Amino acid sequence: MGAPAELELGEIAGTILVFGGPYGNLEATEAILAEAAQLEIPPARMICTGDVAAYCAEPLAAANALRAASVTVLMGNCEEALGYGAENCGCGFEDGTSCDLLADQWYRYASAQLDGDCRAWMRAIPRRITLTMAGAKLAVVHGGAQRINRFLFASSAAAEFAEEMEFVGADIIIAGHAGIPFTRALPNAIWHNAGAIGMPANDGTARVWYSLVVPEATGLRLEHRALSYDHGAAAAKMRRAGLAEGYADCLASGLWPSLDVLPATEAASTGIALAECIFHWKSASAAA
């Protein structure tokens, strides 16, 4: 049986913590769980936007940590590919690019690490998550609402975001896949990418990113937050496993080994440290 097309969480009254791309980085996965505990956010109000297993050394342990904590996980292209035994990660990289060639190594490694139980879990997780908060309809997708591995960045054309928003019919879409956190305000809607915790955001720092969505009297507050963790231990495990040095080095340098997927605007921002920031969505009644 395939994954459910959509998981409806209903109305959520408290703060939710959203993160993407654990990427097999157990240290980062454990750090986000500890962060949630410190913020007193229960696993029932945590959402992972997918790609639990990818670049780093412990894909099975990272997946099992999220499963044991009962975090709600969305299907990313990596779960789809690994769960169904595809030949490649389905990341959307162009054939022959550096990203494509590097992906072949980590994908074969991750595939060899996973057991049948984890693959079955990956096949069963939802492809979209919907919920309501403070009068807003939220949809959580991986890449795009229509294609799981669609790359959308802050500089993407407004028409691309509008197409996705119209397809879902949500006030706010929360996404992953791109690896860089951003919020894009659109007419009457918001596209919010929570970033990834398993790999830095190409901003020259070792920090990784997650988001808080906080209900307020007038609507919602969306917070981009940075997270520090033991990246040295994660990188050492990658080197012991013989994984690509470029990604192991990235955990400390904060610089991606390849910029193939990035639009010119994001590529030009390589090495520029991101800042934590807050955005607001106002409910219809508050706006009126």
pLDDT of 94: 66
Encode pLDDT of 45-87 as tens digits. 999 999 999 999 999 999 999 999 999 999 999 999 999 988 8
> Has this prediction a pTM greater than 0.85?
yes
Tokens in use for 283? Answer: 């409910």
Inform me whether the pLDDT recorded for 288 exceeds 60.
Answer: no
CA angle, 161 as apex, 96 and 255 as ends, to 5°?
45
Inform me whether the pLDDT recorded for 91 exceeds 90.
Answer: no
> What is the layout of strands, in order, in the sheet containing 16-19?
72-73, 46-48, 16-19, 208-216, 219-227, 277-282
pLDDT of 93: 63
- Structural domains of the chain, ranges and CATH numbers in brackets: 7-287 (3.60.21.10)
Task: Flag the least confident range among 37-41, 90-94, 230-234.
Answer: 90-94
pLDDT of 92: 61
Inform me whether the pLDDT recorded for 97 exceeds 90.
Answer: no
Encode pLDDT of 148-206 as tens digits. 999 999 999 999 999 999 999 999 999 999 999 999 999 889 999 999 999 999 999 99
Mean pLDDT on 268-276: 98
Tokens in use for 276? Answer: 């934590």
Helices (H), 70-131: 77-84, 98-113, 116-124
Task: Flag the least confident range among 1-5, 113-117, 180-184.
Answer: 1-5
Inform me whether the pLDDT recorded for 107 exceeds 60.
Answer: yes
Encode pLDDT of 234-266 as tens digits. 999 999 999 989 999 999 999 999 898 899 999
Q: H or E element: which one contains 60? A: helix 59-69
Share the mean pLDDT of the chain: 93
Rounded to whole angstroms, the Cα distance separating 214 from 211 reads 10
